[in-house]
Each structure stands twice: as structure tokens, then as C-alpha cells.
Amino acid sequence: MQKIIVGLGNPGLKFQDTRHNVGFMFLDYLAQKFGLEFVPGRRDYFLAEGKLDGQEFVLIKPTTYMNLSGRVLQQYLTEHRLLPQDVMVVYDDVNLEFGRARVKNGGGSGGHNGIESFIQNFGTNRFARLRIGVGKSFDRKKILEYVLSPFTDQEIQNIIGPFEYCAILINAFIREGVDSMLNINSMIINDQKGKQEIPEEKKPDYYSEYAKLLIPPPQPRKPKPAPQEGEGYDSGSEGDYQSYDESDDENNPDDNKYNRYDDTGLGDIPFDDTGNR
């Protein structure tokens, strides 16, 4: 059964390095790591197909903008006789600090247009998600401006550590499924916290000490403040993703290649665990 990893983003040069496109950026990193190349799909997406230990997988970048991305994937699932349980969706999260990430299986949309589109088109919320933090220290009334702003050059370099960690999780998802992915993530987090060292016999061949060294243990969580007006994805303010017209830019195939990652001069990137919001 083929595994599907979907990265969310908006097509077009003007969105290339924006925070809202971190899902696209991670899939480009994966494709480079696996030696794959994206090509146009039969419908509104680019895809790169590969195989790990005999397990087929496909990386997909929808080109319909986020609010319609679920429709594209539902068509793909129907054509290939696959289920939502075979899908992993990677996307940005403004409620996580830059470089943190969380994985979970199922749950709500958190107001994210792309995830809401998946839930509506799949008819279920039971699919795996990988959320990558793009920073949460900004004026919540200007969320649209923030997510459409580009990463700095230093942030692009610094995000390699989290990308490498996420690649470990994707390896587990492809080869053994979502339960294995959640298990390896929990083991690494417990190891980083000093609660339990991972036995060598339990480390899969794709486990990377390189990633672990780049990502410090997760920090203690702070109590959530009371919600403020205009806060969050679905506040109804100008920062609401749903107020953004994502249909005014043409797709450009040349925007889908990221061959400029360097693994030198990396900063400290905090990484978080599997807890749900």
C-alpha cells in the first residue's frame, strides 16, 4: 500500500520562501534527501515517487492553493484506491515557536484552511499530521502579513535541524506506519529529556544522531493565556487564513526546487513532543 506525504503551500514565486510554505519546503528537502525529482501530476499537483525497503511512497505538493488542497488529494486517493490513513500532511503552525514540531494522528483543523479542506473532503479527521512551527511572536491582528512574509536567510539555514528530525519520522511512517512514527518520536523525546536512553537494538537504520545533536530537548510548557480578540487562525479578523484570497497567482513549475540547503553554521533549534493542542 502506497504511503502519501503531502506538503502544504501556495504555488508561485512570490510565495516561495514564506512561512506559510514550510510544507512545500520540507518536501523539497525530502526529495533532495531521497534523490527524487518533482514532476507534474495528472491533476493539480506535483509529485515525486520513491520506495524505501520495498514500501512505495509519493510526495505530493498541491497547486490549487491550500483551501482546495483536500479536493486534489481525495481525487488521488480515489484513483489509487487508498485511504486517509495512508496520508501524512505537513504544514505550518503559528502556535509553535520557530523550529518546533509536533506529530499526531487525527484531530481538528486548528483553523488552518488546508487541514480543514482535507477533513471536509476526506469525511474524516483520522489522518496523520506533522506541524512545523514558523514562530508565534507577532501581532495576532497581522497574522496574514506574518505567514506570507519570507523566512530570513538565517532561518532557512537553521531549519535544517528540524527538517532532518522530521525526515526520521517520515522514514518511520513510510516503512512501518503512523504508530511506529509516534513511537520513535516518543523514544527520542524521552531520550532528550533524560528519562530513557534508546537501546541500540531499537534504533532503526534511518535514525540520525546528527538530527538529535541539532535539536535540544523540548522546553517546559507555559500555561496558555486567555484568548485575545483577533488571536488564532479562525478569529475572523484580517489575520484569519480564510480571509486570504489564494487564487491570484499562476503556478510556476520552476518554483518547486530547493537545492540550496547547507548543513553548516546551524543554530540551536528547539523541538517539541507529540502533545496535542
Q: Is there a contact between 132 and 96 (Cβ–Cβ < 8 Å)?
A: yes
Q: Is 20 an active-site residue? A: yes
Q: Is there a contact between 86 and 2 (Cβ–Cβ < 8 Å)?
A: yes
Count Cβ neighbours within 10 Å for each residue of 12-51 and write b for 16 or more, e otherwise. beebbbbbbbbbbbbbbbbbbebebebeebeebbbbbebe
Q: Is there a contact between 93 and 131 (Cβ–Cβ < 8 Å)?
A: yes
**Catalytic entry in 3, 20, 175, 212:** 20
Cβ atoms < 10 Å from Cβ of 55: 15
Strand partners, 186: none
Sheet order of strands, 87-93 included: 39-40, 45-52, 55-62, 3-7, 87-93, 128-133, 101-105
Distance, CA of 123 to CA of 116 (rounded, Å): 10
Distance, CA of 274 to CA of 277 (rounded, Å): 10
For cell 518511520, name the residue: 172
Catalytic residues: 20
